[in-house]
Amino acid sequence: MTAMTTDEARAVLIHLAYDLRWTWIEPMRRPFTMLNPTAWTASNENPLAVLRQTSDDYLAQRLAEHGFRTVLGKAVAARERDDARDRWFDRARHRGEKNMLVAYICSEFAIHECMQQYSGGLGVLAGDHLKSSADLGIPLIGFGLLYRQGYYQQEFRRDGSTRVVEPRWLFEDLPVSDTGVRVAVPIGRSTVDARVMHIAVGHCDLYLLDCDLKCNRMRDRELTRGLYRGDPDLRLRQQALLGIGAVHAADALGHSPTVWHLNEGHAAFCGLERIAREVEGGVPIDVAQRRVAAGTVFTTHTPVPAGHDRYDLGRCAEVVRPTLRRAGMRKRDLARLGQEGGANGPLCMTVLALRLSDHVNGVAALHGEISREMWKDVYECSADDVPIGHVTNGVHPGTWMPPLAAGFWQREIGLRPTRSVPRCATWKRAEGADPKAFWAMRATLRRRLIHVARERLASQARRRGEGGADVEAARGALREDALTIGFARRFATYKRAPLLFRDLDRLEALLQNDDRPVQILYAGKAHPLDAPGQALAQRIHDMTRRPAMRGKVVLLEEYDMGLGRVLTSGCDVWLNTPIRPHEASGTSGMKGPLSGGLNLSISDGWWPEADDGRNGWTIDGHSERCSDRERDRRDADALYRLLEDTVIPAFHTRNRHGLPMKWIRRALRAVATINEQFSSHRMVAEYLDQQYRPANRG
């Protein structure tokens, strides 16, 4: 790169920082890691925080170095190459879709861990959806809310109980910009002012509404204070802001979406606002409803009836009364659209979304079946005739595949990590990769995980006020050569995080075999008000204190995207033990095979579509029709048998070159069969073909 002034360089760096492609195009983030590695790590990898801690004098010194100028030049070139390349949608676009624009609405978006605007899987999926849409060139814009306190930060006390920490984020420290656009959203008797903030997710724009403004009443400012707060009335009004506000924001920004994609029922009120606008344009109410439904895609994520949001019908009518009035609708019309049955029943947000959407899908094949059975009464037909399909979730390769693995696959099988197509057939070559080189790559990723885990455990010990001996013990936990099993996800009771502890004698026998070392890493969050979920975390914490498990079973706090990337790439086995069929899809297990990891899972969510008998292991206790206690006993027994007889022997049985060939063959089979299918590139391409194109024509 040619010489530039400090001001010019800072402007270039700021431009890079506000382009969220740095979250998945590695050369674009390298200048920030090089500029101030300490600030990069301390800020949770926030480029703007790095720049704010870098003085002009120091930046001038770095610019004098040829190495830094080269790295900065490569970052700019990487962005320019991505700008210049042809995108799949432009090459494959069908006639009549020139003006298609998808508005994607979700209550949370996980783009990167420095912007903690997400609680878990729904947000990660939404972030990956935007990134793949940007990579493939699908015309899509996102809408959500910008939370001043995000979700929450998790700490464990000495007894393992959860301490909920609610930070207050300074948006000027985040790569979020103010569009200058303001919208007034009617919610009940209030008119809530919201500023429209912008995040550039590559070629996709994400717009987030912020109500924490001095002009609003305090109760209205709280609408964007935090994510998934426990107060039902607050959540109801948040969902009105999300659904109705998204339509207001799109109009104020000059966008005219032809397709509206509601990612979960939180955004269902969007349909009411769109009906109101049709009616105000002179369209009869019945025609308006049909038009809105024809252009709406709805994705449901919850296979358990109790997990769907339900609110008092009268209160719902009060909250959306201004919108209903404009649509010429009354409380009884809202009841007709949102009640499941019975004049006195609550309004179900999922039912409202179902009745205002012609294009509905679950997030895995099994979840589609469950959803058709669950909602057959809404459609007044048999489950076989319910018009709910499925688009199985996927994960964004650029986000979840570490550079080490990307470089390995590029050398071994000719993978082009920056090439974005719905299905990358190159993965099929993985079974021919060099076993020795593959095993060396796996060992490096495992070592990185162990290093990160030790540092986190030591930090946790220091924060709890533990002595120097305990801190040093934390730094010595875990082994670099042990079979490393990971369990990291939301601590919900149905996911059964402690299932592995059901027979302690059996588990401890596995852990105490120094000739075949095994270790288990846990991480996860429960909702701040979910006492049973927090109790699961506390029980795991108690297990880590048992002498036979100390240093071999660990619990890491504050599970976020950064820790998730290290865990999914470094663990040899990803453990998943939900109560079937309560897992709608799950995506964490899709990430491991990008780095050669294997799944050990109950046959639930996405795994029945992936398992071919040779690319992982299925835990089958034949327990679906048992009592809860017997189900857990059978599933735990099946898990122990797999570990004892198959998984651990395969990992520790080595040939004369020190390679576990049986394990490596299974791992490479997983790479070859899973990564092509369970990519978010494939996912958004399926949405385009199955949902967006029909909705656009509708």
CA distances from 273 to 135, 136, 142, 346, 349 (A): 31, 30, 17, 20, 15
> What is residue 265's predicted lDDT score, i.e. its pLDDT?
97
Strand 190-201 to strand 177-187: parallel, antiparallel, or no bridges (unpaired)?
A: antiparallel
> What is residue 594's predicted lDDT score, i.e. its pLDDT?
98
Give Rg (Cα) of the chain.
25
Ranking 112-116, 166-170, 335-339, 653-657 by mean pLDDT, the lowest is 166-170
| Cβ neighbour number for residue 146 with a 10 Å cutoff | 26
Ranking 74-88, 97-111, 290-304, 330-344 by mean pLDDT, the lowest is 330-344
Q: pLDDT grade, residue 97 (50/70/90)?
A: confident
Residue 203 backbone phi and psi in degrees, to 5: -90, 10
* Residue 381: DSSP 8-state: S
- Interval 248-288: pLDDT, tens: 999 999 999 999 999 999 999 999 999 999 999 999 999 99
> What is residue 95's predicted lDDT score, i.e. its pLDDT?
55
> What is residue 3's predicted lDDT score, i.e. its pLDDT?
79
- Look at residue 165 and give its three-state secondary structure: strand
Cβ contacts of residue 116 below 8 Å, gap of 6+? Answer: 150, 151, 153, 169, 560
Strand 310-311 to strand 347-348: parallel, antiparallel, or no bridges (unpaired)?
A: antiparallel
| Cβ neighbour number for residue 438 with a 10 Å cutoff | 20
**Span 236-252, mean pLDDT?**
98
Domains of the chain: 6-84 (no CATH), 89-393+684-697 (3.40.50.2000), 397-447+479-678 (3.40.50.2000)
> What is residue 306's predicted lDDT score, i.e. its pLDDT?
85
pLDDT at 530 over 70: yes
The angle subtended at Cα 317 by Cα 311 and Cα 319, nearest 5°, is: 85
pLDDT at 592 over 80: yes
> What is residue 256's predicted lDDT score, i.e. its pLDDT?
97
Please give the mean pLDDT across all residues of the chain.
96
pTM of the model: 0.97
| Helix 56-63 with 6-17: angle, nearest 10 deg | 100
> What is residue 92's predicted lDDT score, i.e. its pLDDT?
79
Cβ contacts of residue 589 below 8 Å, gap of 6+? Answer: 574, 576, 599, 601, 606, 607
Q: pLDDT grade, residue 8 (50/70/90)?
A: very high
pLDDT at 1 over 70: no
Q: Give dist(CA 127, CA 622) in Å, integer.
A: 36
Least Cα distance to 625 among 615, 634, 617 occurs for 634
- Interval 619-669: pLDDT, tens: 999 888 899 999 999 999 999 999 999 999 999 999 999 999 999 999 999
pLDDT at 190 over 80: yes
> What is residue 96's predicted lDDT score, i.e. its pLDDT?
60
pLDDT at 197 over 80: yes
Burial degree of 472 (CB within 10 A; 0-12, 13-18, 19+): exposed
Burial degree of 399 (CB within 10 A; 0-12, 13-18, 19+): buried
